[in-house]
Structure 1
Amino acid sequence: MRSRICHSMADQERIHQDTHTMKPDPSSWDQLPIGLFAFDTFGRIISYNDSFVDLLGVVPMTSSTFERCTTSTFDLYGAVARVLAGETVRLAGWYTPPNRQPRFVRTTMSPSFQADGRIDGGVGVIEDMTEQRRYEERMEHLSSLDPLTELFNRKKVGDVLTSAVQDTVDTKAPAAVIMLDIDYFKLVNDTFGHPTGDLVLRSIAQLLRRNIRKTDSIGRWGGEEFLIVAPQSTLTDGIQLADKLRQKINDEPFGPVPHVTCSFGVSSLDGGKTVEQALQDADEALYVAKNSGRNQVSSKR
Structure 2
Amino acid sequence: MMPTVSDICTKEIVSINIKSTISDAIKLMTEKNVRSVLITEEDCKNYFIFTTNNAIEYKIKNLSLDTKLNELNLPKIQKIDANVSVLEITNKDDLISEYFIVLDQGKVVGILSQTDIINNIDPQMLLQKQTISSIMLQYTVQTVYENEATINAIKIMKNEDVDSVIIIDDERKPLGIFTTKDFLNIVSETADFTLPIKKYMSSPLETLPKDVKIYEALRFIRTKHFKRLIVTDENDKIAGVITQQELLRLINNKWMEVIRDRGLELSKINDELMKKTSLLEATASQDFLTKLYNRRKFDTLLQYEIEQINRYQGREMSMIIIDIDNFKSINDTYGHDVGDEILKELAEILTKLSRNSDVVSRWGGEEFALNLTHTAIEDALFVAEKLRATIERHTFSNNLKITCSFGVSQFRTTDKANDLFKRADKALYEAKNTGKNKVVLERL
TM-score (norm 2): 0.38
1:212 counterpart (343, 354, 362)? 354
Q: Deviations over 1:82-102 (max 9, x none)?
A: xxxxxxxxxxxxxxxxxxxxx
1:184 matched to 2:332? The reply is no
Distance in 1, Cα, partners of 2:373 & 2:279: 25
Distance in 1, Cα, partners of 2:370 & 2:422: 14
Distance in 2, Cα, partners of 1:189 & 1:131: 39
1:141 matched to 2:141? The reply is no
1:152 matched to 2:293? The reply is yes
Answer yes or no: is the 8 Å Cα contact 1:176–1:268 preserved in 2: yes
Partner of 2:387: 245
Distance in 1, Cα, partners of 2:439 & 2:309: 24
AA aligned to 1:177 is: M
AA aligned to 1:161 is: L
Equivalent residues, number = 180
Tell me the secondary structure at the aligned position of residue 256 of structure 1: helix
Partner of 1:113: none
Answer yes or no: is the 8 Å Cα contact 1:157–1:217 preserved in 2: yes
Alignment gaps of 5+ in structure 1: 1-105, 108-125
1:226 matched to 2:363? The reply is no
AA aligned to 2:396 is: F
1:161 matched to 2:312? The reply is no
Q: Deviations over 1:72-120 (max 9, x none)?
A: xxxxxxxxxxxxxxxxxxxxxxxxxxxxxxxxxx99xxxxxxxxxxxxx
Distance in 1, Cα, partners of 2:271 & 2:412: 41
Distance in 1, Cα, partners of 2:324 & 2:410: 22
Distance in 1, Cα, partners of 2:311 & 2:414: 10
Partner of 2:433: 291
Distance in 2, Cα, partners of 1:196 & 1:231: 33
Answer yes or no: is the 8 Å Cα contact 1:169–1:272 preserved in 2: no
Please state how far the C-alpha of 1:135 moved relative to its aligned partner: 3.1
Q: Deviations over 1:116-145 (max 9, x none)?
A: xxxxxxxxxx99976644432221012211
AA aligned to 1:148 is: L
Note the 1:20-31 alignment, pairs <5 A: none
Note the 1:49-198 alignment, pairs <5 A: 132-172=273-313, 173-198=315-340
Q: Over alpha carbons, which structure has the higher Rg?
A: 1
Answer yes or no: is the 8 Å Cα contact 1:268–1:278 preserved in 2: yes
Please state how far the C-alpha of 1:256 moved relative to its aligned partner: 1.4
Cα RMSD, aligned residues only = 2.4
Per chain length, whose mean CA-contact separation is higher, i.e. which structure has more relative contact order (CA < 8 Å, sep 6+)? 1
Distance in 1, Cα, partners of 2:347 & 2:354: 11
Q: Deviations over 1:129-169 (max 9, x none)?
A: 76644432221012211111111111111111111221221
Tell me the secondary structure at the aligned position of residue 293 of structure 2: coil
TM-score (norm 1): 0.56
Percent same amino acid at aligned positions? Answer: 34
1:200 matched to 2:366? The reply is no
1:260 matched to 2:402? The reply is yes
Tell me the secondary structure at the aligned position of residue 287 of structure 1: helix
Distance in 2, Cα, partners of 1:205 & 1:269: 24
AA aligned to 1:138 is: L
AA aligned to 2:290 is: T
Tell me the secondary structure at the aligned position of residue 230 of structure 1: strand
Distance in 1, Cα, partners of 2:356 & 2:280: 22
Q: Deviations over 1:239-290 (max 9, x none)?
A: 1111111111000010214310000001111222101100100100101111
Answer yes or no: is the 8 Å Cα contact 1:168–1:270 preserved in 2: no
